[in-house]
Every structure is written in structure tokens, then in C-alpha cells.
Chain A
Amino acid sequence: MSSLSSSVARRPNADRSATIAFWAFISPALIGLTLFTLIPIGWGFLLSLSHAQNTIHFTHFVGLRNYIDLLTDEEFLRSLATIVVFAAFIVPLTYAASLGLALMVNRVATGRSFFRTVFFIPSAVSYVAASLIWRVSLFNGLSFGFANHLLSLIGLAPIVWIGTANPPWYWLVLVTVRLWLQVGFFMIIFLAGLQEIPSSLYEAAAVDGADPGWQMLRHITLPQLRNTSISVLLLSLIAAFQAFDEFYSVLGSGGSANGNISLARPPLVYLYSLALSNQDFGRGAAGGFILTGLIVAITLIQGRIVRFGEADP
């Protein structure tokens, strides 16, 4: 009772010190986010409406010209198509592979932590370093590349993995490198989800005569992993649309003689060359907004599809 009355008496003072403390604690984050996220968005929006060649200032407004230019630019449209194809491969494969690994690691009796470490450890490797291994050693087009060495053991001729548009083997290179790098991380998230499923559900299903393989997976494990699955799909989708490192490193930087980037140039690589090589910051900024719009749209569509499944038990 006395503590209540004293705290009421303290109120105006406490309010003021709380306000001061709140702004003191929040301001470093708020100033930083304003400088490096909010202002860039506003600045970028104004740049996207400007003719900003060789300048980062918005002085010469051209309305929606940059957007129209980009949306009628075949190269840019092809880059959007490239990233949609890439996401269509990498997102389902990542989902299936990380869930599959998690289910296997979760079940195995001996060596569980060993296997978990082995599948998770590629997360420590950068996209640049992994791309280097994939491009120069694993999928080197010459006969000393590892994959070609294995082919030679069964009497097959070496394959040019990266240089040719037809057949498009470079997709195998690009998809497997990202798969190797990110599958372990998502496996860990699935493992955490699996451990939260109460074992009583499986016991009850066993009493009802469900077979421990497919039926339990379909009717217990997958529905119980719904929220985890949504996180994994969303995180891998958003990451896929921002792919830059492995395309740039595997296919070359475009300007250089050994560049194969015209085979598959994702939007960020295109915007990078537009903004930093051609110094066209107006169109570079506009492209960023178009890509953001695409990511938001596809995220919403994916959300609908996933929720659509929820209605059907």
C-alpha cells in the first residue's frame, strides 16, 4: 500500500526521467537507422525521379522516366526473369533439403552432433570463397576439375560447366553453391522446430495405427512445423531475390574478359553495373524500388499459397 502511494507521488518525476532515459537509449539506433535506412529511401526515391548521371544529387527531375526506361529495358527485364527462375529452383530445394537433413539428423542415434556440425559448418564460409571453389575446382570446365575428374572415372568427357548458354549447366553451379552455403542454417531452425513437437502426438498416432514413416510426417510433423516452414521459406526467398555474390563471383564481373555474366545477370548485379560502372544513380535507385516491389509482391503471393494450405487440414 505504501509503495503504491509513493510510486503515485513519484509519477511526474518518474515520467520525466523515463522520457529522458528512453530517448537516451533509443537515439543511437534511431539516428543510425535514419541516416542509413530512412534518408537513403527518401533520397533514393528522389534520385529515381531524377536524371542523375555521374551525380548523387537530385537536381534534374524527369518524372517516371527512369522507371519506364527500366521496365522497357530488355536487359533489366531479363534480370528479373533470371532471379525468378533462380528463386523457383533454390527456395523449394532449400526447403526440401534442410527439412530432409533435419529429419535425418533428428532420428539418427549415433553421431548426431557430428552430423549437425558438418552440415552447419558451410554457414561460416563466404559466398565469394565458396564461388571460388565451385568455379575453379569443383566445376572447372577443364579435365582437372573435380566433377570432370569423376566423370572421367566412368568414361565420360569433361563438361564445360560455366561457359555455355546451352546446355545451361551454370544453373547447377549457382544453385548448388547457395544450397551448400545455406542449407545447414535452415536445418538448425527445423531441428529446433522438431524438438518442440510433443512426443505424445506420435504416441497417440502409433496407438491409432499410423505408420511411422509417411503418415506421421504428413499428419503430425509437417503441420506442427507450419510456422517454422513459413520462416524458412520467407527467409530463403528474400535472400534469393538479393543474390549478388555468387553470380558476380562465379560468372565474372562483366567488364572483364572472362566474364560470363551475360548468361545470368540477376537484378543486383545489373543495378551494380548501372550505378557504379555507368554512374547512373537515377536508374540504379529506380531499379531498387522495382526489385523491392517484386520482393513484396512475391512474398505476399507466397504467404497466400502457404496460408491456403492451412485451410485444408
Chain B
Amino acid sequence: MRKRLPLSFCALGLLAVLFLLPFYLIARNALMSDEQITSPHWAWLPPQPHWDNFIKLFQDPTAPMLTGLINSAFIAIVTLVLQMLISSMAGYALARIPARGRDTVFAVIVATLMIPSAVTFVPTFAVTAYLGGVNTRWGIVAPGLFSAFSIFLFRQFYLRFPEDVEEAGRLDGLGYFGIYRHLLLPNSLNILMALGVLTFIGSWNSFLWPLVIGQDPSAWTVQVVLSTFLTAQTVHLAQLFAAAGVAVAPLVLVFLLMQRYIVEGAKFSGGKE
């Protein structure tokens, strides 16, 4: 037993190096010149960091990086806030408010849970285009606000909310809205943060839907800018990696700060809480 631990520790160490390698490659290439990247002599570190790659990137009209960052931040934040609000409200109604038709509504929501969203992107595009959502931020945001999965998880969470707390609130004169606002929401911070951070990351990183809806450069998200940059030109390698760094860095920061909640969110998604 004692002999085995160092071995698995070494194996983990080696795997950790492998898992961190892509981050290293972004940083290395983003801080080199194009000639240094393509040089036949491999350099592990940039001889002197080329910070100007980032300046050139933001001046490059073929990659509207600043627009992309603004669009992505807007989309991810709006999706995070509204999806959490809409889902927790619906979850509360499904778990705690007795009303006729509730079982039917729940059955419909569970049914939509089974439909893989990417598979319906063609007709969802048709509907969103019909509503005038092409090349608009709201067109990119709207379908992501309504998640049957989040609603389901909030319902499961509120089903376990202690009944006597709710009853005490009712005796204090709280109605359904008051109970939601003053009792359930303050006690849902954990699940709100857990699902919220996952939603934020998923929204920032999503690609197919923003690509389909945001056809005009003014509506491009960071991922679409990055993809266009990747397929349009392969000459300015350093700028390409600077762009990747700009797209990845904010999320790595969010990840490191919010890791505790992301772990909770992963457990929720996997059916463990």
C-alpha cells in the first residue's frame, strides 16, 4: 500500500502536465513572433515576450475582438440572470404551488427535456428568423433563457424545502410571491450559483447557435470571431493565439474563483446533490 502511493502520485503529476500543456501552448505562442513560432528550432519560452500581439489583435479589422467580447459578455450575463430567474420561478411553481394542470405542465417540461437542443437548431432558426432575431443579440440570447433541465433541477431542489418554514412564512402573512422572494430565493443561493456559473460558461463557450444567428460581424460572439479568424487566415499565428488567450482567460479566471460552485453544479447535472 505504501509503495503504491508515490507511483500513482507520479502518474497524476505526468497527467497534470499533459492537461496543462494546451494552456502553456496558448501563452507561449501568444507571446512569440510569427517567425519564432514557425522556427525549426523549438524554444520553450519566448526569448522576449511580444505583448504587442495583443495590441495588433485589437487593431485587426478582420477579427472584431472587442465587439465579440462585448457581445459575449452581454449574452452570457443576460442568460445567466434570466435563466436562473425563470427556472427558479418555474421550479417553485412546480414543486410548491398546488394548482390544476400542474402535472400536465410538468409532463410537457419533462418531455422537452428529452429533446437534444442542437438537433432542433434548423426549425429554431426558422422561428427566430420569423420573429426577426437574425443578427440581433436577443436572437442569440432568447432560446438559451428557457432550460427544461434547469427547471427540472430547481423543482427537485424546492421539493425538499422544509414545509414548516413555508408554513411559518404563511402565518406571517406572506403570499406565494413573498414566500418565493423572502424564503426560497435566499435559501437557494447554492443552487443558483452552481447552475448559474455553469450556464455562464456554457453561454460564453457556445458556438453553433451564435454562428447560425449572428451572421453579421456586429453580432459575432468571441467564439465566432475566433472561428472566423482561424479559418480566414493562418499567417498571423501569434495573433491567433493572442485571440485564443483573450477568449479563454476570462473564463479560466471565473472558473478558478467559482470552482466550489462549479463542482456543485457538475454534481447537480450528474444527478448527485
By a beta-carbon cutoff of 8 Å, the part of chain A in contact with chain B is 17-19, 21-26, 28-30, 32-33, 35-41, 43-44, 47, 56, 101, 104-105, 107-111, 114-115, 117-138, 142-144, 146, 149, 180, 184-186, 188-189, 192-193, 196, 212, 227-228, 231-232, 235, 238, 241-242, 244-245, 248-249, 252-253, 256, 258, 268, 271-272, 275-276, 281, 284-285, 287-288, 291-292, 295-296
Contact between chains at B122 and A144 (CB < 8 Å): no
A30:B90 contact, CB within 8 angstroms? yes
Q: Given A25-B90, A107-B8, A36–B143 Cβ distance below 8 Å?
A: yes
Query: Is B122's CB under 8 angstroms from A35's CB?
Result: no
6 contacts between A and B (CB under 8 A): A23-B99, A32-B142, A126-B247, A133-B244, A138-B25, A242-B118
- With A227-B271, A248-B227 given, name 4 new contacts (CB 8 A): A107-B8, A231-B270, A245-B207, A268-B208
By the criterion CB–CB under 8 Å, are A26 and B226 in contact? no
- Would you give the shortest CB distance from A302 to chain B, in whole angstroms? 15
Q: Across the interface, do B226 and A129 meet the contact criterion of CB distance under 8 Å?
A: yes
Q: Which B residues are CB-close (under 8 A) to A111?
A: 9, 12
Task: Report the nearest A residue to B28, measured CB to CB.
Answer: A137
B70 within 8 A of A: no
Tell me, yes or no, whether B128 is within 8 Å of chain A by CB.
Answer: yes
Q: Nearest chain-A residue to B40 (Cβ)? A: A143
State in angstroms the CA–CA spacing of A35 and B248 once bound together: 32
Closest chain A residue, CB of each to CB of B201: A124
Contact of B127 among A43, A108, A121 (CB under 8 A): A43
> Given B22, B25, B142, B254, which contacts A36 in the complex, CB threshold below 8 Å?
B142
Most interface-central of A114, A228, A242, A256 (chain B CB within 10 A): A242
Which residue of A40, A129, A258 contacts B248 across the interface (Cβ within 8 Å)? A129
CB-CB under 8 A from B176, the residues of chain A are 17-18, 21, 25
Within 8 Å of chain A (Cβ to Cβ): is B62? Answer: no
The docked-state distance in angstroms from the alpha carbon of A105 to that of B12 is: 8
Chain A residues within an 8 Å CB radius of B270: 186, 188-189, 192-193, 228, 231-232, 235
Q: Is the interface of B mostly helix, strand, loop or mixed?
A: helix
CA distance A227 to B267 in the complex (A): 13
Closest CB-CB distance, B144 to chain A, in whole Å?
9
| Chain B residues within an 8 Å CB radius of A235 | 269-270
Known: A28-B86, A129-B244. Is A188-B19 also a contact (CB below 8 A)? no
For residue B189, which residues in chain A have a CB less than 8 angstroms away from its CB? none
Q: Mark B210-231, 1 if CB is under 8 A from A, else 0.
A: 0010000000000100110011
Q: Which B residues are within 8 Å of any A CB, using their own CB?
A: 1, 5, 8-9, 11-12, 15-16, 19-23, 25-26, 29, 37-40, 42, 86-87, 89-90, 92-94, 97-102, 105, 108-109, 112, 114-131, 142-143, 145-146, 148, 151, 175-177, 180, 201, 204-205, 207-208, 212, 223, 226-227, 230-232, 234, 237, 240-241, 244, 247-248, 251-252, 254-256, 259, 262-263, 266-267, 269-272
CB closest chain-B residue, reference A227 = B271
Complex Cα spacing A22 to B102, Å:
8
CB distance from B235 to the nearest CB of A (A): 11
Least Cβ distance of B112 to chain A in Å? Answer: 5
Contacts of A138 in B (CB 8 A): 21-22, 25
Give the contacting residue for A253; candidates B231, B244, B271; CB below 8 A: B231
Contacts of B234 in A (CB 8 A): 136, 258
Given A121-B252, A126-B247, A132-B244: A29 in contact with B89 (beta carbons within 8 A): yes
Which residue from A36, A101, A242 sits with its C-beta under 8 Å from B146? Answer: A36
Give complex CA distance A310, B4 in Å.
Answer: 31
Cα separation A253 to B232 with both chains bound (whole Å)? 10
Q: Does the CB pair A29–B151 fall under 8 Å?
A: yes
| A36-B146, A180-B19 known; A17 vs B86 contact (CB < 8 Å) | no
In the complex, what's the smallest C-beta–C-beta distance from A59 to chain B, in angstroms?
13
Q: Would A132 and B231 count as touching, CB distance under 8 A?
A: no
